[in-house]
Chains A and B, each alone.
Chain A
Amino acid sequence: MRSLIRSTLAALTVATTATLMTGCMMFMKPPAASEFGRTRVGMAGVYRATITPAGDTIPQGVLQQWTLHLETVAGAPVDSATVTIDGGMPQHGHGLPTKPLVTTVLGNGDHLVEGMKFNMGGWWVVKFRIASAAGADTVIFNLKL
């Protein structure tokens, strides 16, 4: 009897956790419109970054190139940073379909990003993890496709 109660309780806990977790995923709302800008300051407040996709709109389903402009919050262009890129769709629980890379430092803070792709519509997040002598920081962009 006791073990029955225990297993029922355990099952209930599992079920509740599962419901809460899927609930979280489904009810996670995209941030406010003001969070969807093309210029963003990093979480640690070290860098300000601007993305310029080739073309006005970000197309769905094709590889594209972006220019990433990096500067310190004080406005000094940053050329000697290590940049890694990841992201995904928070509401769907998956990452980016490709592994985009900074392939060329164009100078004056500009970097060529290749291999960017978005394979479905909805809210996407792209994170640039930046490290240089000025410090480490993560700049997060929200996109609506």
Chain B
Amino acid sequence: MTPTHSPRVLRNLSAIGVGLALGILALVPALARSNPQAPWTAAERTMLKSLSLSSLAPLPADHSNKYADDAAALRLGNLLFNDARLSGNGQVSCATCHSSEKGFQDNIPLGKGVGTAGRRTMPIAGTAHSPWQFWDGRADSHWAQALGPLESAVEHGGDRLQYARVLRQHYRAEYEAIFGAFPNLQGLPERAGPVADSARAAAWARITPARRDSISRVYANMGKAIAAFERQITFTPTRFDRYVDAELAGRAPTPGDNFSDDERAGLRLFIGKANCVNCHNGALLTDNHFHNTGVPQSQDGARADSGRATGVRAVMASEFNCLSHYSDAKPSDCGELRFAVTDGEELVRAYKTPSLRNAVTRAPFMHAGQFASIERVLLHYDRAPSAPAGHSELKRLGLSGTEVRQLAAFLKTLVSSVAYPAPVTSYTP
């Protein structure tokens, strides 16, 4: 027996059907919020794809450093990164603060070398993708960046002539194989450089400009070798990446990589209501730009810190920037510097957006370790307090306790090991 319906009944039924469907459609966004297992929309999938490590662009060329991808420079850089003879007291190397065992950072509020730095040590992984280095972007390449801590009185505490002597004594063959003949240092003082120490600064001023230039050239080359090493410090895929890649390929994630309800809800908040993805975007979860997010002034760092406002002035004036005499770039390769915003209120207390890869392992958080826990970080984003100076870009979020927990759960899926070139034990040209 076939069911019989009059056409009118059918029409009515289909009208009810359409009505119901529309009703359900209207409810979908609400359902998605309450049902963490709701499928990702097309727009969300596009967003997820952009955040996966699989979408990371190839390592960008550094035109300012012609040795950036040179294998011998990388080996020398690896040695220099770990060499404490490159310091005022013979005890501090880059690795003192950027420890490979801690993802190239140190888990303390302010970096500690010969003295105490004014800000928190930044992890190095992935920063070859950034046009700016430091929290305030006061260097525009890895090699120029490396030359900052080396002559800082509170970090390595040495000077460029001292370092040129260390290189000449211990790495001459390696150096000359890459950069050519080592300059003659005879008749020069033991220590000299444009540093805070007045005796060494005065000694530097007494050296002829031509000899100063040849010492600064050795110094820049040291930076270029260290940069060749740093470029190869990279992030490896996290559970988040494996989950997204499986999701986009339409296969089930392997059991350990599947997301819990909290993790999915946290991810949905991250790319939705909580606006995190405005700044923490792309495969490294950073826009590599500067924002004032109303982070309080550091309690320990007594001096006022105006962030990018002073950082941009420093990079424009730097003797080692992309347009400088020591750079290998053509002016047309220096777009970021040439078109940088150099003034305005937006730069005040603006800091570089950190990558959120491994962020949860890097307590204390922010540029001077102002926040001890991820929960405290999320509370800050929820409340969006006004900034100690300048204007915060944040807006209040109105997160529930559950939502805070979900965001924290999601951030914990962004953890993986950092890959880096194996330590060099002996040098073989």
Contact = CB atoms under 8 A, between A and B. Distances in A.
Contacts of A63: 335-336, 339
B338 A115 contact: yes
Interface residues of B, number: 23
B287 interface: yes
Interface string A82-105: 000000000011111111110000
Nearest to A117: B339
B341 A100 contact: no
Interface in B2-59: 47
Task: Report the contact-size class of chain A (Cβ under 8 Å from the partner).
Answer: 20 to 34
Interface in A36-69: 60-61, 63
Contacts of A60: 281-282
A67 B287 CA distance: 25
A95 B336 CA distance: 16
Contacts of B234: none
A99 B278 contact: no
B338 A120 contact: no
Given A92-B393, A121-B281, A101 B287 contact: no
Given A22-B395, A26-B395, A94-B393, A100 B277 contact: no
Q: Which of A22, A61, A95, A101 has the most CB of B within 10 A?
A: A61
Interface in B334-349: 335-336, 338-342, 344, 346
Contacts of B342: 99
Contacts of A101: 339
A114 interface: yes
B346 A120 contact: no
B51 to A, nearest CB: 11
A79 to B, nearest CB: 23
Contacts of B335: 63, 114-115
A28 interface: no
B349 to A, nearest CB: 14
A114 B341 CA distance: 13
Interface in A91-138: 92-101, 114-115, 117, 119-122
Contacts of B339: 63, 98-101, 114-115, 117
Contacts of A14: none
Interface of B: 47, 277-279, 281-282, 287-289, 291, 335-336, 338-342, 344, 346, 391, 393, 395-396
Given A60-B282, A99-B341, 15 more contacts: A26-B395, A61-B281, A61-B282, A92-B278, A92-B393, A93-B393, A97-B287, A99-B339, A100-B339, A115-B339, A119-B287, A120-B281, A120-B287, A121-B281, A122-B278
